[in-house]
Structure 1
Amino acid sequence: MLNNLIKSLTPDYGKLRLTRVFLILCIVALMVRFPFFFRDYVDRDESTFILVAQSWVNGHLPFTELWDVKPPLTFLFFASIISVFGKSIFAVRFFGTLLVVISSFFTYRITAGLTSKKVAFWAAIFSVFLQSSFGSLQGVMSEHITMAFFMPALYLLTKKHTFFTVFCTGLLLGVSVMVKLNMAYAILFIGLYLIYSYVREKKYVDGFLHTSAYGFGILLIIGLTILPYYFQGISDLWWKSVVQAPLEYANARRYSIFKMAPLILVLTVFFLVAWKKKYIDFKNIVVQLLLVSIIGVVLSFVKGGRVNGHYLIQLHPILIVLVAIVLGQLSFIQKVDYKKIAFLVLILLPVEAYLEYGNIIKNKWERGTFYNGEGISVPAYIKNNKLDTSHILFLEYHIGYWVLGVNPPTKAATHPSNICKDEMFKFYDNPRKTSMEELKYILEELRPKTIVGRSNRSIFDLDLVQENAYINTYLEKHYEILTTVEKADIYQRLEGL
């Protein structure tokens, strides 16, 4: 019975058409990501993107009313969805799923050009899982958006180069870098590789024309993102927010190089073994393109000084191509019944999805709605009890601003942690210069009647001793916990204070 089930779910690789691959990837991605369509938020960054996007829909360019350290096209993705579907977290997560499908589909196409359709199919399937499982990957991250443009661009470069195709590649990569700035390293390395390849083949005229088209496509997209700011006379805000702020952020938030050593070591060992055992043909132009892209992405991690879990989304769709090629040649894998192993892995991998299916069913049974999380239940409590929302401060669950239809009390509070990133203040001309000044302004001058925080958790990172000590003391003296909704404490300001 198990053999029949596995056989029915396994495609005939020889007859595998692109439309069927895309459809299968859609089904797998929806299966894994669908239950998270109803959760208030998965990662706080996603909530911030939504807030800035809503501000844009309301007529305010990114960085003008609300601020976060991302290029404008990150917010444009969310703003486009909100402008059509309104305040629908379901729609945001649905289109996020399509992003995963698109990048994984081009993982398939690139892999199929290097090896068999069978290996390419499973590379694409695991690309979906690697972008959808563990931690915050079920939300819609900027990395999902950037790879949905980067992978098609990489695929175009594996085909015969014409002025038009290389120009289109540049356009796609321009979008990619205006979603996630650190992709500039990979894009630069690809450009240098193109120049090298044309010089090596002594195609000087084609090389000049094509690399010019490549660069022009990238610069055109970047220029288009500047235009709205130029017309409003605030081009300097674009420059400071899109270029200077991320560089400062990377320097200020740098981790020890030793924290990235495991990733670099694993990749080095993998490529050394693949080269020594001749599992990968490093003379192949497509392989070289993949390799320079991987080097560019990893270098961006090193320069940025950190690797969060969702950062690896920028690496997985590219790296899985080469990993799949190597695994497909290992003798012990060829001898085992890979279908049963693959079936077992596919059953075990989406454990988080299974748990979330149970969560939404439970929530429907207990509360009458599939939508769940404090970002939904806390605003509902605030609305039902008519609490004051003027200058309301969410120190956690800040998607609640969106649900309530209000803005954060200050530009620095767009993301709760930004309040304490005072190295960023100068890039959006914040009137306060330090995090303590910002906190005191919000609490002592704006004096929000309602504050939302997370129960039994430090308000800010533990290393922010002064900020935590101040806000804890202030809350204890001037506020009381009105109620606790799930894991959220709702504070009310004491009368007369």
Structure 2
Amino acid sequence: MLKKAIGFLDSLNSRLDWKTVFFVLFLVALFIRFPFFFRDYVDRDESTFIIMAQSWVDGHLPYTQLWDLKPPVTFLFFAGIIAVFGKSFIAIRLFGTLLVALTALFTYGMATRITSKKVGFWCAIFTVFFLSLFGSLQGVMSEHICTLFFVIALYLQLSKRGLWWSLVVGVLLGISVMSKLNMAYPMLTLGIYLLWAALKAQNFWKDLQHLIWMGIGFILLVTLTAVPYYFQGELATWWSSIFEAPLAYSQSKFHSIGKALPVVLSTLLLLGLGIGKKLIDRKSKEIQVLLLVILGVFVSFMQTGKVNGHYLIQLYPFLLILVAIAVSKLPPLKKNLKIVAGVLLVLTPMEAYLEYVNVINNKMEKGSFFNGEGIDVPNYIIENKLETQNIFFTEYHIGYWVLGETPPTKAATHPSNITRDKLFPFMDNPRTTGMEELRYIMEEIKPKTLVTRKRETIFDKKLLEFNAYIDAYLAQHYELVKTIDRGLVYQRLK
């Protein structure tokens, strides 16, 4: 039966148009991601994007009332959803599903320029898998946003001609970079390749014009993000928050090139074997472009000095095309191995299956599909009428959004930002160090309610001074009033 199902998909693919391919991809993405529509958060960054977006919807440009280390297009994506649909986890996650399906669709488009529709279709299916599973990818991450626009730009660059299309490609690349700044690296390697190709071409001036129009489109988009800051006299805030702060963060002592090397070297080794075995045609223009984009992404990983699971979203569409092409040139699987492969395919979305069970259990036990401490803790606070005006979340900070509150200070928007001294010069914050900020929150603002998580230390265990201070302060001035799963709710002593 499994073999027939896979065969049906293969035969169906030969007759699919783009609309039908997208419909299939969206259904697969929706099935995998749907149970996570009801989770409070999957990654803390997503919670921060939502809080920043809500501040924008309330009339405050990013980095002015609240602050985080991402370019503004990421916040704009979330702000647009909140402005139209209000405070809706479902709407945000549904648009995240749309991002994944569209990325897979344009990955399919690029793949079919190099290989068959059948291979391209399965490449797109696995793009949905890899952009939705294995870690914190079920949430809506900045990598989902930037990768979609980069994939569309690359597809248009490979398939369309004309100066106006080059302008559109430049704008799309600008949107990608202004969603996640490190996409400037693959954009740069792509630009170097196109310039090199133009120098070799007979119509050098014509090809150079395309590059110029791409540059114009990119600069236009970046400039547009600065316009609202210019009119509010906050241009310096725009520059320091978007460009200077990420550079300082990438040089943080917590990160080193060695942490990125295993992923980079192992992938490059596999690609080298594929090229050496002639499974990947390095003479193909499209494959050359994909290889250089992958190289650019790797350079960004090395510069950042770490590779979180969600960083790999930026790599998957381009790498999966090459893997799919290589696998398609291998000898066909024997019958028994096909059955094993089919079983593995069905088991791949195991995280989704488990989350379906979790959602149903939560509905039966607590009467709600929505689950997680970021929802249960705020519900407890509301039901027991605890003070929320100066509430402080060191964890589950999506609770600010659920409660309709804002973080106590700009630096506390993302809880970990408090501990990053190198970022304080770019926040336009009265305090200049993390310890100074934490003391100000605890001793001057004096939050009546504090929420943290049950674990060994409140902050990263390497931050001895932070943990020693807040542990002693909580012991002296707060009492634990409720434990909700791993969430701890403290009330300030009178």
Tell me the TM-score normalized by structure 2: 0.98
Residue 233 of structure 2 corresponds to residue 233 of structure 1 = yes
**67-76 vs 188-197, which moves further:** 188-197
Equivalent in the alignment of 2:381: 382
**Which whole-Å deviations, capped at 9, do the CAs of 1:291-328 have from their partners, x for residues lacking one?**
11111110011111111110000000111000110011
Using the alignment, how far apart are the partners of 2:102 and 2:204 within structure 1? 34
Using the alignment, how far apart are the partners of 1:492 and 1:301 within structure 2? 42
**Could you tell me whether the CA contact under 8 Å between 2:149 and 2:172 is conserved in 1?**
yes
Residue 487 of structure 2 corresponds to residue 494 of structure 1 = no
Equivalent in the alignment of 2:170: 170
**Which whole-Å deviations, capped at 9, do the CAs of 1:190-242 have from their partners, x for residues lacking one?**
11211111111122221221111010111110000000001111101000000
Using the alignment, how far apart are the partners of 2:334 and 2:117 within structure 1? 19
Equivalent in the alignment of 1:431: 430
Task: Give SS of 1:70's match.
Answer: coil
Using the alignment, how far apart are the partners of 1:220 and 1:338 within structure 2? 52
**Could you tell me whether the CA contact under 8 Å between 2:257 and 2:304 is conserved in 1?**
no
Residue 27 of structure 2 corresponds to residue 27 of structure 1 = yes
CA positional deviation for 1:330: 1.2
**Which whole-Å deviations, capped at 9, do the CAs of 1:138-196 have from their partners, x for residues lacking one?**
00000000111010111011114210111111111000000000000111111121111
CA positional deviation for 1:38: 0.3
Residue 171 of structure 2 corresponds to residue 190 of structure 1 = no
CA positional deviation for 1:360: 0.7
Equivalent in the alignment of 2:471: 472
* Structure 2: runs of 5 or more not aligned: none
Aligned residue identity for 2:31? M
- How does 1:53-452 map onto structure 2 within 5 Å? 53-253=53-253, 255-331=255-331, 333-336=332-335, 340-452=339-451
Aligned residue identity for 2:150? F
**Could you tell me whether the CA contact under 8 Å between 2:258 and 2:305 is conserved in 1?**
no
**Could you tell me whether the CA contact under 8 Å between 2:170 and 2:216 is conserved in 1?**
yes
Structure 1 segments (4+ residues) deviating >3 Å: 1-11, 333-342
CA positional deviation for 1:367: 1.6
Equivalent in the alignment of 2:457: 458
Aligned residue identity for 1:413? A
**Could you tell me whether the CA contact under 8 Å between 2:130 and 2:313 is conserved in 1?**
yes
* Structure 1: runs of 5 or more not aligned: none
**336-345 vs 129-138, which moves further:** 336-345
Aligned residue identity for 2:159? K
Aligned residue identity for 1:109? G
**Could you tell me whether the CA contact under 8 Å between 1:146 and 1:179 is conserved in 2?**
yes
Task: Give SS of 2:405's match.
Answer: coil
CA positional deviation for 1:345: 2.4
CA positional deviation for 1:254: 5.0
Using the alignment, how far apart are the partners of 2:24 and 2:336 within structure 1? 22
**340-349 vs 265-274, which moves further:** 340-349
Identity of aligned residues (%): 54
CA positional deviation for 1:6: 4.0
CA positional deviation for 1:457: 3.6
Using the alignment, how far apart are the partners of 2:337 and 2:25 within structure 1? 19
Equivalent in the alignment of 2:483: 484
**Which whole-Å deviations, capped at 9, do the CAs of 1:422-463 have from their partners, x for residues lacking one?**
211110221111111111100001000100011234110000
Against the structure 1 CA distance between its residues 293 and 338, is the aligned structure 2 distance closer, same or farther, given a 3 Å change threshold?
A: farther
Aligned residue identity for 1:281? D
Tell me the TM-score normalized by structure 1: 0.97
**Which whole-Å deviations, capped at 9, do the CAs of 1:336-356 have from their partners, x for residues lacking one?**
567534432221111111111
Task: Give SS of 2:251's match.
Answer: helix
Aligned residue identity for 2:158? T
Using the alignment, how far apart are the partners of 2:244 and 2:40 within structure 1? 32
Q: Matched residue pairs, number? A: 494
CA positional deviation for 1:267: 2.0
**Could you tell me whether the CA contact under 8 Å between 1:396 and 1:452 is conserved in 2?**
yes
Using the alignment, how far apart are the partners of 2:470 and 2:254 within structure 1? 26
**Which whole-Å deviations, capped at 9, do the CAs of 1:42-83 have from their partners, x for residues lacking one?**
000000000000000000000000000000000000000000
Using the alignment, how far apart are the partners of 1:72 and 1:287 within structure 2? 32
Using the alignment, how far apart are the partners of 2:336 and 2:326 within structure 1? 17
Using the alignment, how far apart are the partners of 2:373 and 2:367 within structure 1? 15
**476-485 vs 12-21, which moves further:** 12-21
Using the alignment, how far apart are the partners of 2:69 and 2:3 within structure 1? 51
**Which whole-Å deviations, capped at 9, do the CAs of 1:270-302 have from their partners, x for residues lacking one?**
222122211122111111111111111100111
Using the alignment, how far apart are the partners of 1:236 and 1:320 within structure 2? 40
Using the alignment, how far apart are the partners of 1:232 and 1:130 within structure 2? 41
Task: Give SS of 1:158's match.
Answer: helix
Task: Give SS of 1:489's match.
Answer: strand
Using the alignment, how far apart are the partners of 1:17 and 1:341 within structure 2? 30
**337-346 vs 85-94, which moves further:** 337-346
> What is the root-mean-square deviation in Å for CA atoms of aligned residues?
1.4
**Could you tell me whether the CA contact under 8 Å between 2:41 and 2:47 is conserved in 1?**
yes
